[in-house]
Amino acid sequence: MGVPVAVVGATGYTGCELVRILSKHRNVEITSLTALLKKEQPFNLIFPRYQEISLLCENLEVERVAERCELVFLALPHKVSMEIAFRFLTLNKKVIDLSADYRLPPEIYEKYYGVKHTYPEIISRAVYGLSELYREEIKKANLIANPGCYPTSVLLALAPLLEEVEVERIVIDSKTGLTGAGRKSDIHLNFCEVEGSVRAYKVNEHQHIPEIEEQVYRLTGKRKEIVFVPHIVPISRGILSTIYLWLDKAISQKEIIRLYEEFYRLSPFLRISGDYMPQIKDVLFTNICALGIKTEGQRVIIVSVLDNLVKGAAGQAVQNMNIIYGFEETEGLDV
């Protein structure tokens, strides 16, 4: 028998992706699937494409789920997760929270998410789950704040450079598929509204900006001004972030590729290239983050691509579970 795990919020895009990945994991047993349902029914009736997953999807009863699991994945909306996470933690369960509820200091969370955090004292116990950067902290964690999809694409692209040189300006242009907005009814996400078009949204006010800023500060010890413009493109999944950087000194193409290859030498999910600019289709349904890097003097451009539902959410959550339990990081995940 593997580690008993539960997925709370199993019928959203991220929750469904978690179930897909965990069902292939050799060291895990899924013991509970829950969602907000009018009628409890087997997972393979809700999602017929997963015929092999017949576990009943139930309405959430925290104590009953906790009796069956050791670790719980929370694939719940922001503002909902904070209460559920707290209840599982009080029952001595490990929690990997895929919402934003434990990623930010309470005052910044309130500013961007519009609600006062109910358990600010718990935030300091959460480990930010960017797997490649914080492995040692993740190993000892009981509460993982899984990073957002945009921040994952950006921070993995920035981290090696931020530790080596002074970055003076950071401008980020990101494009995402529709699943990034969640599985919900929204006129702006309808096929007829998005097909054949691209649109910017939440320009320089997106809730992932403070998440990026906080981690850049953690890596550099300095507050950096970040310009971030996200766009919705008419595809179902995937993120492509183009990051423009101005450095305080020149760096050669050969030097920067060597820097990134060395930084990520023990990271099986990072692909580095100076010759090829990656595309979203290169990484779909995998836990890969692919980086294409070009430099000219003091200017650097990095193209970062990942699957928003895998490396940007469910895959990274499973990677963090693998780190906690000492499994191979690649276990259950496609590379």
- CATH number, position 300: 3.30.360.10
Using the predicted structure, report yes or no on whether residue 184 has a pLDDT greater than 60.
Answer: no
Count of domains observed in the chain: 2
Do residues 244 and 301 touch, judged by C-beta distance below 8 A?
yes
**Based on the domain organization, do 101 and 169 belong to the same domain?**
no
**Based on the domain organization, do 82 and 160 belong to the same domain?**
no
Task: Give the pLDDT band (50/70/90) at residue 38.
Answer: confident
Tens-digit pLDDT profile for residues 123-137: 999 999 999 999 999
Task: Give the pLDDT band (50/70/90) at residue 182.
Answer: low
**Based on the domain organization, do 113 and 194 belong to the same domain?**
no
- For 104, phi then psi, to 5°, come to -125, 155
Q: What is the DSSP string of 244-264?
A: EEEESS---HHHHHHHHHHHT
**Based on the domain organization, do 300 and 155 belong to the same domain?**
yes
Examine residue 165 and state whether it is found in any structural domain, yes or no. Answer: yes
Examine residue 317 and state whether it is found in any structural domain, yes or no. Answer: no
Task: Give the pLDDT band (50/70/90) at residue 290.
Answer: very high
**Based on the domain organization, do 220 and 98 belong to the same domain?**
no
Examine residue 69 and state whether it is found in any structural domain, yes or no. Answer: yes
Q: What is the pLDDT of residue 272?
A: 98
Q: What is the pLDDT of residue 23?
A: 96
**Based on the domain organization, do 12 and 69 belong to the same domain?**
yes
DSSP letter at 132? T
Name 323's Cβ contacts closer than 8 Å, sequence gap at least 6.
131, 135, 138, 139, 329
Task: Give the pLDDT band (50/70/90) at residue 183.
Answer: low
Q: What percent of the chain is predicted at pLDDT more than 90?
A: 87
Q: Cα 48 to the chain's mean position, in Å?
A: 26
**Based on the domain organization, do 162 and 101 belong to the same domain?**
no
**Based on the domain organization, do 195 and 297 belong to the same domain?**
yes
Using the predicted structure, report yes or no on whether residue 19 has a pLDDT greater than 60.
Answer: yes
Q: What percent of the chain is predicted at pLDDT more than 70?
A: 97
**Based on the domain organization, do 182 and 247 belong to the same domain?**
yes
Q: What is the pLDDT of residue 140?
A: 97
Using the predicted structure, report yes or no on whether residue 186 has a pLDDT greater than 80.
Answer: no
Type of residue numbered 125: R
Q: What is the pLDDT of residue 158?
A: 98
Catalytic residues: 149
Examine residue 326 and state whether it is found in any structural domain, yes or no. Answer: no
Using the predicted structure, report yes or no on whether residue 181 has a pLDDT greater than 70.
Answer: no
Residue 268 to residue 289: CA distance in whole angstroms: 10
CATH number for the domain that contains residue 24: 3.40.50.720
Q: Give the structural domain span for 66.
A: 3-125
Tens-digit pLDDT profile for residues 187-204: 666 777 778 889 899 888
Tens-digit pLDDT profile for residues 39-97: 899 999 999 999 999 999 999 999 999 999 999 999 999 889 999 999 999 999 999 99
Q: What is the pLDDT of residue 187?
A: 65
**Based on the domain organization, do 108 and 225 belong to the same domain?**
no
Q: What is the pLDDT of residue 195?
A: 82
**Based on the domain organization, do 117 and 176 belong to the same domain?**
no
Examine residue 131 and state whether it is found in any structural domain, yes or no. Answer: no
